[in-house]
Structure 1
């Protein structure tokens, strides 16, 4: 099989792709690939590996040798699945490779906001502790998470790991029903009730037509004034301008985001312009532990090996 990896740069060089290369007679890697370069670079390859490069109907129709697409992510929104089915092209993604990693990042954002650790760290580096007239610094408020309520939106491996970690800290957990649902299933609470009751809300659902703008002005107004909003899911789940306004007016206590509506985040994104002390933004890095990335490569290699023997 001939294969090509279109956006190898989404993995650092320290992550080896030898498990993939060893299965292929001809294997090429490109750091990044633009839409204009995609067809040419796929060429007569049987296999294409992509993380975020779009493989749409025109690409599929132009690349007649293509038999297998491996996505080095869980989401398949960059692949035209209908066109792939029509062309008898198999599509494989990677699932459950980073539940512990993303949950760890979720908890890190939650803990930083709750403890204001990032602000205390900055003050120490600026010499404020050295010049303090008492033994400590305690001018930023600290929220004790034990006994507080965490509202979880979404289900799956990541959500389960976050629940496990939160309960380890002594938090109570509420599982949210879908927004707008007519009936509340056993073990869940209505979406609006979850927002009003929770001290921390964490989003772990996919971005779909029904979840786009899941959290906007109305939902933010339902939350407690000290509540924290954590989003390690997808940027489009939250109206970013409404969030900034809620943070400025202190309708909620803080937010930690690892995602943005457009990525890489644009300079004119409201989250970037605001520069708020109660907002932490990380660069969609929650997934990217060394262990998780190595698992992804191993899973892609396994998909290829299975395809070759089928």
Structure 2
């Protein structure tokens, strides 16, 4: 009988129904699990369900019964893959579930920033419309999306969906070439050229050694058109201290972030220091979290577990 342990059930909304696998099993779930508690909670597990709990070599080495880690997400940087290969532990992840929810959230941020929705709402709350003594007022910039240049970093399914939305708004869509790479073909605009042409930058690439901290002050200074930058991917893709300075110096027109280098960010972090800026929006890593997307995610997660036990593993991370 399989022994399944879900380490962090609270990372999926409580209203989402998680069906039980169609084979004999014991099921244990914990709301949250600290890294120090993971080994003890998984000591008898054959299958672990995990979203964000770090599972490193020393933990995995203590789990000889573990056969599968089913990641309840697309990203798997919380798991030591090399150690999993060494110990014969398969790792599965979730794919293709967020092609509507993340692009819609990204465009919510893009629209709000380009049209200054947040500061205008605050002005109305503060009485500025009453004091204006006419039908409107012009305290903040308003820019159309039509005719502007949308640069997408990351050409996977989510990036492609963002491109489709951008074209529907009449934007000129470009995919930035991978930083430091050349000869990638006609789909791509060279990295530095893309930064210089961008009116809007939307980030949708994975976090890996080649992309960690890929946007810093050097890159902000290359953004000649003072774009807005939106990050719904991973926090450590952008140097947060440099983002803060870029906003303060006017190198960019605004920023919308759904992710942070450390989540939740500490109160003294650069992103938290920017919360009072009218051209900055921070949301709590919820771009992925529409009810429809979450249900698709957990259904696929259970499919992965059932397929593995059936001997037909799916979505295995190599």
Q: Does 1:160 align with 2:165?
A: no
In structure 2, relative to structure 1, the CA distance for the partners of 1:274 and 1:2 (3 Å cut) is same
Alpha-carbon distance in 2 for matches of 1:20, 1:9 = 17
Match of 1:56 in 2: 56
Distance in 1 (CA, whole Å) between partners of 2:298 and 2:182 is 42
**Correspondence 1:70-89 to 2 at 5 A:** 70-89=70-89
Residue 224 of structure 1 corresponds to which residue in structure 2? 224
Q: What does residue 177 of structure 1 align with? A: 177
List per-residue Cα deviations over 1:98-150 (Å, max 9, x = no partner): 11100001101100000111112222233332443011233211011100010
In structure 1, stretches of 5+ residues that fail to align are none
Q: TM-score, normalised by structure 2?
A: 0.93
User: Matches of 1:188 and 1:179 in 2, distance apart?
Assistant: 11
Q: Is the 8 A contact 1:47 1:66 kept in 2?
A: yes
Q: Give a deviation string over 1:195-225, Cα, whole Å, max 9, x none.
A: 1111111111111222122111111111135
Partners in 1 of 2:21 and 2:124 — Cα distance? Answer: 48
Query: 1:100 maps to what in 2?
Result: 100
Q: How much does 1:42 deviate? A: 1.1
Name the SS of the counterpart of 1:307 in structure 2: helix
User: Against the structure 1 CA distance between its residues 122 and 22, is the aligned structure 2 distance closer, same or farther, given a 3 Å change threshold?
Assistant: farther
Maintained 8 Å contact 2:4/2:26: yes
CA distance in 1, matches of 2:41, 2:130: 57
CA distance in 2: counterparts of 1:23 and 1:125, whole angstroms? 56
In 1, the alpha carbon distance for the partners of 2:309 and 2:188 equals 44
The structural deviation recorded for 1:87 is 2.1
> Given that residues 5 and 29 in structure 1 are in contact (C-alpha distance below 8 angstroms), is that contact kept between their aligned partners in structure 2?
yes
1:26 to partner: Cα distance: 1.2
Residues 3 and 24 in structure 1, CA contact (< 8 A), matched pair in contact too: no
- When the two chains are superposed, the root-mean-square deviation of aligned CA atoms in Å is 1.5
Post-superposition Cα deviations, 1:217-275, rounded to whole Å, max 9, x if no partner, equal 11111113531111111111111111111111111111111111111112121121233
Determine helix, strand or coil for the equivalent of 2:36: coil
Question: Does 1:204 find its partner at 2:204?
Answer: yes
**Residues 14, 239 of structure 1: alpha-carbon distance in 2 compared, 3 angstrom cutoff:** same
**What is the CA distance between 1:93 and its match in structure 2?**
0.5
Q: Which moved more, 1:186-195 or 1:19-28?
A: 19-28
Following the alignment from structure 1 to structure 2, what is the Cα–Cα distance between the partners of residues 21 and 302? 8
The match for 2:123 is 123
Residue in structure 1 matched with residue 13 of structure 2 by the alignment: 12
- Alignment match, 1:141: 141
1:77-101 Cα distance to aligned partner (Å, 9 max, x none): 1112222222222211101111110
Q: Secondary structure at the match of 1:129?
A: helix
How many residues end up aligned between the 2 structures?
A: 309
- Secondary structure at the residue paired with 2:188? coil
Offset, 1:23: 4.5
- The TM-score normalised by the length of structure 1 is 0.95
Residue range with higher mean Cα deviation, 107-116 or 257-266: 257-266
Any conservation in 2 of the 1:203–1:232 contact (CA below 8 Å)? yes
How far apart are the structure 1 equivalents of 2:194 and 2:284?
28
Q: Which position in structure 2 is the counterpart of 1:31?
A: 31
